[in-house]
Amino acid sequence: MTKIPRPTESPRERAFMVGVSFPDQDNLLSLDESLSELALLADTAGLDVVGQETQNLTRPNPKTYLGSGKVSEIKSLIEDLVVDVVLFDDELNPRHQRELERIFGDSVRVVDRTALILDIFAQHAHTREGALQVELAQYEYRLPRLTRAWTHLARQAGGGGGRAGSVGGVGLRGPGETQLEVDRRDISRRIAQLRREIEKVRAHRSRYRARRKQTAIPTIAIVGYTNAGKSTLLNRLSDSDVYVANELFATLDPTTRRVSLPDGQTVLMTDTVGFIQKLPTTLVAAFRATLEEISEAELLLHVVDITHPNAEEQAEAVRDTLREIGGQEIPTVTALNKIDRLHLSNMPVDYLDQFERAVPISARTGEGTDALLRVLEHELFESMVEVDIELPYNAGSFVNLMHEQGVVDEVDYKRDVIALKGRIPKHLEYTVESFQVGPDGSDDEVGAGAEFDQH
């Protein structure tokens, strides 16, 4: 029976996908696998995929990206299929996009993978911070592509706080200015305003992390490919109710919850945005404030959907993004998730040697999560580092912390400082960097006492 849309539902637009393979491309997924992922992105964005075409090229056509014959073929297909949107699996440059839109006609929009992901992020940004970051990424993407098709964008007087798609400012034209020039100027002004607002968010997050570190509670950032089960796992471990859906980028804004480890210690776990191959660089840059939650964590929990046929490639895409944001050196524990869906019980065992500190789990049923918590506890509290420090007497609270969470081998109450030798959990190592005694027996840094008072 055909489903009849309710009056409040808009009919889904019809999309046609296009993928191109180049011999020098270093993609993690094959062309067919990448198009399958693009179809999932399209569905998440509310599009119905009605067909697709692929082409192998040595290099992009400088005018139309595709060969002229393939462009004509696609034009005929999208007319027959009554297509609204043509989706390209790679990012198109502005010239390619303009020329393809001219050929396909005014009734068809040409959207590349980057624009599609940005649209999904705009749909899923529920906090002001997320909305600001998505809006910045959208405008930085749109600015070089601005043509008459983008002009007369909805304007909202007053600027700040406008939703994605609106341009702050009145946008009055000066003598001799075209509407296109006005739009470019207004978007550039809005980009500058968004960057200032996001910098304030970044500063606020930085202060929040500094206060959080004063409590000496370690932070674990949950990372993984989109739809790997990160939010489900956080719900399982923290007994909370973070939003979960079986779609790509279901959660966008970071969520932090307290989690208790087997021996009673408490950690903070932050669920971060899911990664994906070909993640737009504009998005990574715009989300710098959020992604710093990852680079500042003491430990990463990498969730891998072990049932996915491209599990290893997805894991590599996550590692690529971690390298891009400077998080590749952070110790990592891997949760091989969704083992409840496996038909072969020994399949996770085959993967154990391929991932760092891997633990097979099911976030949905809870299987293996106790073992996962023990591994996390070991990495945070039992992996000790040796320290040789001299503390000012006003840092007595840290001496107590050393006794509670570390091992004190030697203590010497000197005239001006307390000399300590011992071992502390790795996640506390940063707190004593200013007090380390150098090879010559002197403090590595001057003013260590003042720095301790601040942190």
User: Both tokens of residue 202?
Assistant: 């970044």
Confidence at residue 192, expressed as pLDDT on a 0 to 100 scale: 94
Confidence at residue 156, expressed as pLDDT on a 0 to 100 scale: 35
Query: In 3D, which of 285, 308, 359, 301 has the Cα closest to residue 133?
Result: 285
Confidence at residue 222, expressed as pLDDT on a 0 to 100 scale: 93
Confidence at residue 454, expressed as pLDDT on a 0 to 100 scale: 36
Q: Which residue has the higher pLDDT, 171 or 310?
A: 310
Q: Kindly state the average pLDDT of the residues 46-65.
A: 95
Q: Which residues contact 337 (CB under 8 A, 6 or more apart)?
A: 228, 229, 233, 303, 304, 305, 306, 361, 362, 363
Q: How would residue 154 be classed by pLDDT, with cut points 50, 70 and 90?
A: very low
Q: How would residue 78 be classed by pLDDT, with cut points 50, 70 and 90?
A: very high
Q: Give pLDDT tens digits for 300-326.
A: 999 999 998 889 999 999 998 888 888
Q: Kindly give the residue spans of alpha helices, DSSP state H, lying in 297-351.
A: 311-324, 347-351
Q: How would residue 71 be classed by pLDDT, with cut points 50, 70 and 90?
A: very high
Q: Rounded CA gap, 405 and 402, in Å?
A: 6
Q: Give pLDDT tens digits for 87-109.
A: 999 999 999 999 999 999 989 99
Mean pLDDT of the chain: 80
Q: Give pLDDT tens digits for 336-345.
A: 999 988 875 5
How many helical (H) and strand (E) elements, i.e. helices and strands, does the chain have? 14, 15
Query: In 3D, which of 336, 332, 379, 384 has the Cα closest to residue 360?
Result: 336
**CB count in 10 Å sphere of residue 210:** 12
Q: Kindly state the average pLDDT of the residues 414-425.
A: 84
Q: Which residue has the higher pLDDT, 162 or 387?
A: 387
Confidence at residue 373, expressed as pLDDT on a 0 to 100 scale: 96
- pTM of the predicted model as reported, rounded to 2 decimal places: 0.74
The least confident of 349-358, 389-398, 441-450 is 441-450
Q: Give pLDDT tens digits for 363-416.
A: 999 999 999 999 999 888 777 788 888 888 887 777 777 776 677 888 888 888
Q: Kindly state the average pLDDT of the residues 36-63.
A: 94
In which residue are the tokens 């929990």 written? 301
Q: Kindly state the average pLDDT of the residues 7-11.
A: 63
User: Both tokens of residue 367?
Assistant: 């299987």
157 has pLDDT over 50: no
Confidence at residue 1, expressed as pLDDT on a 0 to 100 scale: 45
Q: Kindly state the average pLDDT of the residues 328-340.
A: 90
User: Both tokens of residue 261?
Assistant: 């480890």
210 has pLDDT over 80: no
